[in-house]
Amino acid sequence: MYIFILQLSLGLDGDLVAPADFKSVSEALILSWVSSILTLARFFKEYFMKYDIIIIGAGPAGCSLALHLANTNFKIALIDKDTFPRRKVCGGALSERAINQLKAFPKELNIYENFLKSVNKIKSYGLRIHTLGNKNSIFDFKDPKNKYKVPGFLCMRSDFDEFMIGEVKKYPNIDLLAGIKINDIKITKQEVIVKSKDQVFVGKFIVGADGANSILRKKFPSYRNISDVGITGHYENVSGFHKDNLIDMYFLKETLPGYFWIFKLPDDRVNVGVYTTKENLLKTKQNLKTMITDIISGHPEISERFKNAKKVDEVKGWKLPIFFKRIFSKKNLYGSRHLFIGDSASLIDPITGEGIGNALLSGNYAAQTLKEAYKNGKIDSSELNQYRKLLVEKFKYELPIHTFFRVFFKNSIILEMCFSLIKNLKSFNSFISKRLYK
């Protein structure tokens, strides 16, 4: 009898079958008691899930952090309110920084090699800038010393997300929990408690990777980020592309300091969008949908490129939290048992509006920081400050340059002068290639 009860205790998932030779009511009561204990244990096992690190958001930033911690002793929950694949408001252009970060994952994961094999994409070698005077400036990011090096790729953002999710699923220490909306987060001195409608997740640490409307960010209302806005959609049969699949950026009066973009995607599709500021929308008294429609139909050069075009889907807009000096404060990046990465940390480029590269980068830096903090046995401000230091060092060139251009790009005359001046400066192109966006 007691051996039987012991067997039950050792296997929570075993089926409970009463032996046929029970002769007493007391034995039956004991069996009933054990059955209740096991049922309760199963309930707590499914309802309260314990982790070392809970990541909210399974976009590029969240997946980056999870994959940098793959095949480790960390038990990780990667939670997202959406199911995959999903449509995401994003251009889908992978910059050189994004490519370099794909190469930066642990070699045994083969992330970059798997990306090359499995994601439908095309190669891109730079930018073609169009200014108000209809002057074009080409920024060629080819490496003269390595003709086989590709500085960027263009793909559907949904395809990239699905690839990253597929990589995450390979590793048993990462639980991907998609389609779960988090309703509440509580951070105590000892742990983090995350609640959805049906489950409770308990962890030692939490990371906000859930974008501009981060639920974790809402727990710290004293911070206010600066958000630009963007809108994007997909077309077919657009013409006029450069042979090197350059990304076309039109700096128009109605978009400054932002721009209208067009770039090719696989399967004859095209990504089209507008990136601008909230202040500009108020000044021009337009909404994003009206703006992008008017540009496509009313701009002489652009309308010519779209004369045979067919819309594939409806345009969608979103806010884009950009980086500036104040975001590198401790309050913005980390605190007691938590830190922020990707868009949740306001790491979108304030000139290009690109966020994937910085999202992957911040996931990498967060993983380095958390590994060291756990190794030293303390997850406090002194350890987490390493994350801030890594970001500050990385952006030390970009921040002042972006601050400068952000101010002067609001003026069309100065913008025209800037691009005229740097158009043929090979040293400037080299500086961008060597210092920025790596």
- CA 366 – CA 387 distance, rounded (Å): 6
CATH number reported for the structural domain that contains residue 220 in this entry: 3.50.50.60
65 shares a domain with 144: no
Domain count, the chain: 3
340 shares a domain with 274: no
CB distance 379 to 339 below 8 Å: no
407 shares a domain with 370: no
- CA 66 – CA 59 distance, rounded (Å): 11
Which of 263, 227, 257 is closest to 244 using CA atoms?
A: 263
386 shares a domain with 355: yes
237 shares a domain with 210: no
234 shares a domain with 212: no
Amino acid at 124: S
Dihedrals phi, psi of 216, to nearest 5 degrees: -70, -40
Taking only the tens of pLDDT, the chain with its 438 residues reads 444 443 444 444 444 444 555 456 566 566 666 665 655 444 444 445 799 999 999 999 999 999 999 999 999 999 999 988 887 767 789 999 999 999 999 999 999 999 999 999 999 999 999 987 767 888 888 888 888 889 999 999 999 999 999 999 999 999 999 999 999 999 999 999 999 998 999 999 999 999 988 999 988 765 566 789 999 999 999 999 999 999 999 999 899 989 999 999 999 999 999 999 998 888 888 889 999 999 999 999 999 999 999 999 999 999 898 887 677 888 889 999 999 999 999 999 888 888 999 999 999 999 999 999 999 888 888 899 999 999 999 988 888 888 777 877 887 777 777 777 766 665 555 555 555 557
41 shares a domain with 171: no
CB distance 271 to 262 below 8 Å: yes
The three-point CA angle 428-432-437 to 5° equals 170
- CA 190 – CA 209 distance, rounded (Å): 22
CA distances from 256 to 280, 337, 429 (A): 7, 40, 22
- CA 33 – CA 48 distance, rounded (Å): 22
274 shares a domain with 218: no
SS3 283: helix
248 shares a domain with 389: no
- CA 302 – CA 237 distance, rounded (Å): 13
71 shares a domain with 8: no
Q: What does DSSP say about strands 227-236 and 310-311: parallel, antiparallel, or unpaired?
A: antiparallel
Q: Please give the residue range of the domain that contains residue 23.
A: 2-48
CATH number reported for the structural domain that contains residue 262 in this entry: 3.30.9.100
Which of 389, 387, 382 is closest to 363 using CA atoms?
A: 387
232 shares a domain with 100: no
327 shares a domain with 401: no
